[in-house]
Amino acid sequence: MRGQSLTPNPEPRTSDPYMETDTRLEDLIGLEYTKLGFFKEVQIKISELRASNLEVERKRLEIQAILDGITDVMAVVSLEFQIVSVNHVFFEFFEHRSPTGHFCYEVFRKQYLPCSPCPLVIAREENRVCRQMFICHLKGKNRQFEITASPLRDFRGKPFNILILKRDVTLEKEYQAKYWQAEKMATIGVLAAGVAHEVNNPLTAVSGFAEGLRRRLPRLKEKLGQAPADRELWEDFQEYVETILAECNRCRDIVQSLLTFSPRKRPEFSPVNLNALVMDVLKLLRYQLKSHPPGSICLELDQNVPDVRGIAAELKQVVLNLILNALDAIREKGNIAIRTYKSDKLWIVLSVKDSGCGISPEFMDKLFEPFFTTKAVGKGTGIGLSTCYNIIRPAWRGNCRKQRAGQRLRIRCQAA
């Protein structure tokens, strides 16, 4: 036993890590520090994502505000003509409540086939922006749209959808038409001045000779006998001369208005007997009435109506135009009813009604526009009713008022 130790041999170390008992403090601290760094990095990423989401939302709201600010109808349409989405302006013009998934030609034009030429097809096939004008009937009114079809392209430059913009240019076109109408009227004003100068010279001669005939009427009466035929001849001469002078004076006023061709001055109204005015107009139309059967003019003149406030020459021009239009409408086989009556304490009504074909409803809004006529080319100028309206229009401030209904035209004049 000599030389041997009495101490027992130690147990051999195991290689099992779970049996490791000498874990150091530095190892535990390093692991926790790594976890803390990971969580901190996650928090930083979350903050960055939140900021990015806020920026994306801000951009989205900004783009949405821009889209909402567009006053044009906007729609995204697939290459197969199906509507993908529309903006809120769509519902202001079109009555379709759920257009998504429907064909664009069904929603926009109420057709069963694509229109021709179709801007969507042009934009799809030629891969370019296409613009067209389009007129449609919406909510009881014709509206004109300017259509722009723009292809939405993918990363390869090929269109996958079409953006459709419809801009309502109805008001713009109306203003443009009024501008051209004003240009036309300005040109007519220059022509009218020249015509007025040419007409004024022979008119002065006619008026002067008619005045000379009136001064000689007493001598003519002395030369004629007292026989009924002679008296009738003298009365006819007297009536004709007075009519010529009265119409010459009216033509003088018309020529003067053509020479000025400026906005109408505020007129001085005077009492006018409507019944006598109608009879004077019918005397002027005796030649035209010869081509119509007897009884074609039916008079219902209330003899108890008071005088109206107006200008006799202008009211005579209005009545003359209305009766001429009515004669043209009945075409030698109808009848015309001319009526005067009192509607209330302030207003006297003159009504001209004919049995002609009347005016189609779609033309009623254009009835008083200059140069608008439904007559054949060469049969009408379109300025008769426009002249009447321009004479009566100042009276909308309370002196006169004009109404129309079907085949009847009525003028309301204020009692004197």
Q: Does one domain contain both 125 and 229? A: no
The C-alpha angle with vertex 103 and arms to 98 and 105, in degrees rounded to 5, equals 110
- Answer whether residue 45 is part of any domain: no
Number of domains in the chain: 3
How confident is the model at residue 416, as a pLDDT?
Answer: 66
> How far is residue 242's CA from residue 223's CA, in Å, rounded to a whole number?
20
Q: Are 220 and 234 in contact (CB under 8 A)?
A: yes
- From the CA atom positions of the chain, what is the Rg in Å? 45
pLDDT above 70 as % of the chain = 71
Average pLDDT, the chain: 76
Question: Residue 8's pLDDT is what?
Answer: 46
* Domain encompassing residue 245: 182-262
Judge if 222 and 342 occupy the same domain: no
Residue 13 domain-assigned?
Answer: no
At 246, the pLDDT band (50, 70, 90 cuts) reads: confident
Is residue 267 a contact partner of residue 395, using CB atoms and an 8 Å limit?
Answer: no
The answer on 123 and 145 residing in a single domain is yes
pLDDT in tens, 11-42: 444 444 444 455 555 555 555 556 666 677 77
Q: What are 108-123's pLDDT values in tens digits? A: 888 888 888 889 999 9
Asked if 145 and 77 sit in the same domain, the reply is yes
How far is the C-alpha of 254 from the C-alpha of 200, rounded, in Å? 10
Q: What is the CATH number of the domain that holds 146?
A: 3.30.450.20
Residue 4, domain member (yes or no): no
Model pLDDT, residue 209: 86
Question: 119: which 2 tokens?
Answer: 């801007």
User: Domain boundary at 140, 168, 196, which?
Assistant: 168
Residues pairing with 166 in the sheet: 73, 147
Distance CA 118, CA 111 (A): 13
State pLDDT tens for residues 255-295.
766 665 444 455 577 888 889 888 888 887 877 787 787 78
What gap in Å lies between CA 37 and CA 28, rounded to an integer?
15
* Domain-ending residue, one of 229, 262, 295: 262
Do 272 and 247 share a domain, yes or no?
no
Separation in Å, CA 163 to CA 70, 134, 156, 252, 345:
14, 17, 18, 63, 62
Specify whether 283 is located in the same domain as 244.
no
Is 219 in the same domain as 99? no
Does residue 50 sit within a domain?
A: no
Residue 75 lies in a domain: yes
Looking up residue 319, the CATH number of its domain turns out to be: 3.30.565.10
- Are residues 256 and 290 both part of a single domain? no
The pLDDT of residue 151 is: 92
Q: With beta carbons less than 8 A apart as the criterion, state whether 336 and 407 touch.
A: no
